Chains A and B, each alone.
Chain A
Amino acid sequence: MSGNSTILEVKDLYQHFPIDNGGIFKKQIGAIRAVDGISFTVKKGETLGIVGESGCGKSTTVRSIAQLYKPTSGEVLFHGVDLCKADKKTLLKERRNIQMIFQDPYASLDPRMTVRTIISEPLNIYNRRGLLDHKWTKDEIEDRVEELMEKVGLNKLYKNRYPHEFSGGQRQRIGIARALALNPEIILADEPVSALDVSIQAQILNLIIDLQKEMGITFIFIAHDLGVIQHISSRVIVMYLGKIMEISTSEELYKNPKHPYTEALLSAAPVPDPKVERNRKRIVLEGDVPSPDKERHGCYFYDRCPHKMEFCSCNIPPMFKAGENHEVACWLYDKEGHN
């Protein structure tokens, strides 16, 4: 990985969505705590993976980073600028460097736009406001669109076609081209391969790895498939109920998982090898993921944890160091012995 400078820093981010009582005054009676106080840093040129089950706040985290939601509290520092407090103009300028790829390639492209319009839209928006290095002419934009299409493996003759004329994998390529249009420094990829078939998924993963090698883009990559995350990322965050459970380099995490939740997650993932599958011992977690609408005073994983202690129910564990580049939020690893 090139360089070690921090490009993005998330500090104590909270994202709560209010629940109202359904009356006309929309009296607030509670909140869904989608993201409940998380902090991490992203280094330049790395791929940071975020895993977790549905409802654990992975997507909300990246959407809050991109300021698609206004975070309830906390800071998102991009090159030292706090995006949460930035005014519209600064935000527009900074957002040029933060782009997103979405999960559903069918819903994320406007069906009434041609591929050319889709890919050139970000360029046009920034060009109109004079935020690009110089005023781009129509031909320059046209050339850029063709260049991008070639880069992501689409035939440039298709630029006048509409999204419905493409398959799922090709649509995801269009989405990637759109994200690359402004030469961003960081791309937030929200489950970009979950909706695709295995053989197509491999194509898109390879494309993303190639692009990163070539252009040195930083990725935050969300997936619920542990195999995919392990393959693509250098560091991994494991989330549960809006909290970070474990952060580690991906190699270390898979070889040496510390948090009971990570262990369970890894052992639940099916492995495409019958010999391994028949002989392994699964840690099967009891019950379901609880609803995130309650304020919690203890460990967020307490209800389902196979190693829970009395102490865990009323003390939220901080991040303990469990080795180099390895942090875990579990009282089992508390060296000072508060419990």
Chain B
Amino acid sequence: MKDFDKEKVILNVEGLQTYFKTDAGILKAVDGVSFVVHEGETVGLVGESGCGKSVTNLSIMRLVPSPPGKTVGGKVIFDGKDILQMSEKELRNIRGNKISMIFQDPMTSLNPFLKISTQMIETIRLHQDVTKKEAREKAVEMLRLVGIPKPEQRIDCYPHQFSGGMRQRVMIAMALSCHAKILIADEPTTALDVTIQAQILELIKALTEKFNTAVILITHDLGVVAGMCDKVCVMYAGRIVESSPTEDLFEHPMHPYTEGLIASVPKLDDGGKEKLFSIEGQPPNVIDLPPCCPFHPRCRKKMGICQAMYPPVYHKDEKHHVACWLYASKEEIDNALKEARDVRK
């Protein structure tokens, strides 16, 4: 495996906080998320629905609908500049050009009224100084690269004339047509069948390697993560609970949630009919969450301190970080308990 730490850092997310105002209270969809993406690296964001994976990435692109959403804190440093402080004009230069996105449902993310050619040429000409003809040639070239047969003819088709897998290929071609530095893929294969999923994943892998593009892959499928990612961040209730290189995470999961998540996937070679490990209960409602570990009601290893205070981040080594009280020293726990008691007074 390649060591990405020596590569240049291209995206640095620090303490990102995105809140939504709802009638029931403030919903902290993303609450202090930090991670780093190096050039050419594939970072996976895993978690169950509602844990804030998608909102994290929408916040990076500043696409969170406001109101009700608002990014209230943190920094997103791309190429030395904070995206959260940029003007609309600067932002336009980044969206779709330096950072591009592909979404879960390829039908709703393409415009059904416009030909593929119109949509692709628009993207290319918006960011590059080329003539219509050159842009078209470039678009055909990209379509050929993603494996669309007869791209010269297919480019003048409408989205409904393509199947689901083909549409996702078109999306990838469009996303990479400006040689983006970062590709954000939000559940790119969830709507597809396994055999098509395999095709698309192979394609993303091959193309991003070719262009040296970094990928942020959002998914809930641990199998996809295992095959694609160099680094994984596990999210729960708006926070990253564990982040680690992929192999280390699967071999030595440290957070009880990660452990449970890996154990509860039925595996192809497990003989079957045994009871699956299951995490009891359900993910918490993130509205007005008290300042405790959000996982403690479902945790098998919970202690008194877990209900009183959010755990600090423990560093196993340089790359493997986990937010859990299990790895704190007795002294730290005692201090924290005292502090929590003082606050309550």
Contacts and interface: CB of A to CB of B under 8 A. Distances in A.
B224 interface: yes
B111 interface: no
A284 B202 CA distance: 9
A283 to B, nearest CB: 8
Interface of A: 53-54, 167, 169, 197-203, 205-206, 209, 224-228, 230-234, 250-251, 254, 264-278, 282, 284-285, 288-289
In the complex, which of the residues B226, B250, B261 has the most CB atoms of chain A within 10 Å of its own CB atom? B226
Given A206-B276, A272-B226, A273-B226, A198 B198 contact: no
B48 A268 contact: no
B194 interface: yes
B131 interface: no
A230 B274 CA distance: 11
Given A199-B261, A199-B264, A285 B193 contact: no
B163 A288 contact: yes
Interface of B: 48-49, 163-166, 193-199, 201-202, 220-227, 246-247, 250, 260-262, 264-273, 275-280, 282-283
B272 A231 contact: yes
Contact of A198 (B165, B246, B264, B273): B264
Nearest to A193: B266
Contacts of A272: 222-223, 225-226, 250, 262, 265, 267
A271 B270 CA distance: 12
B222 A288 contact: no
Contacts of A199: 48, 260-261, 264, 278-279
A169 B281 CA distance: 10
29 contacts: A53-B193, A53-B196, A197-B49, A200-B282, A201-B264, A202-B264, A202-B276, A205-B266, A209-B275, A224-B193, A227-B266, A230-B268, A231-B272, A232-B273, A250-B272, A268-B197, A269-B223, A270-B201, A270-B226, A271-B223, A271-B226, A271-B227, A272-B222, A272-B223, A272-B267, A273-B226, A275-B247, A285-B198, A288-B163
A274 B195 contact: no
Contacts of B264: 198-199, 201-202
Closest 4 pairs (CB-CB, A-B): A270-B223, A231-B266, A202-B264, A202-B278
Nearest to A269: B194
Contacts of B277: 202
A199 to B, nearest CB: 4
Contacts of A285: 195, 198-199
Contacts of A206: 275-276, 278
A4 B165 CA distance: 42
A233 B201 CA distance: 28
Contacts of B275: 206, 209
